[in-house]
């Protein structure tokens, strides 16, 4: 069984640390970054299956811009996009439209409660392991 790997891209350092702490206490190996450019570099240099939490609103390259470069990765990845604020539903709709070929779960809305985060991470890992066993089938 591969290590549980999680990437977190969020420019809110305190929120990213909250996510990291919860994930690490649940047995995840975590890497964090502050923008989409850093996330793409981490994903490119990494290997093996991973879950990716991406904030939609980030400097340099936001979550919507990031997904345009994500389809090039051949490793098994599951994505969850995070957002908050009044424009969240509109941004979520744009993301889902652009991420059609990716393994993307429902968007997460900030703040993310502790139990919700733990449940999402568990669900995403289970889905990722199913993808790894059947890599030629489309994601659910």
| pLDDT tens digits, one per residue of 51-88 | 999 998 888 887 777 877 776 677 888 888 888 766 66
Per cent of the chain over pLDDT 70 is 80
3-state helix, strand, coil split of the chain in percent (to 5) is 45, 20, 35
- Whole-angstrom CA distances from 113 to 22, 47, 116, 117 are 10, 29, 5, 6
Q: Strand, helix or coil at 65?
A: helix
The residue with tokens 């439209």 is: 97
Q: Tell me the torsion sign for CA atoms 46, 49, 55, 56.
A: positive
pTM: 0.84
Q: What pLDDT does residue 138 have?
A: 46
CATH classification (class only), 5-133: alpha beta
- Ordered by start, the domain boundaries in the chain are 5-133
């Amino acid at each position: 069984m591969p290590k549980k790997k999680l990437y977190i891209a969020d420019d809110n350092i305190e929120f990213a640390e909250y996510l990291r702490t919860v994930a690490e206490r649940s047995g995840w190996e975590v890497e964090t970054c502050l923008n989409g450019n850093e996330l793409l570099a981490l994903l490119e240099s990494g290997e093996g299956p991973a879950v990716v939490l991406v904030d939609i609103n980030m400097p340099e390259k936001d979550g919507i811009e990031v997904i345009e470069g994500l389809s090039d990765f051949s490793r098994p990845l599951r994505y969850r996009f995070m957002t908050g604020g009044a424009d969240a539903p509109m941004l979520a709709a744009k993301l889902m439209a652009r991420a059609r070929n990716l393994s993307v779960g429902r968007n997460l809305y900030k703040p993310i409660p502790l139990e919700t985060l733990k449940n999402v991470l568990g669900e995403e890992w289970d889905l990722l392991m199913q993808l790894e066993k059947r890599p030629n089938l489309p994601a659910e």
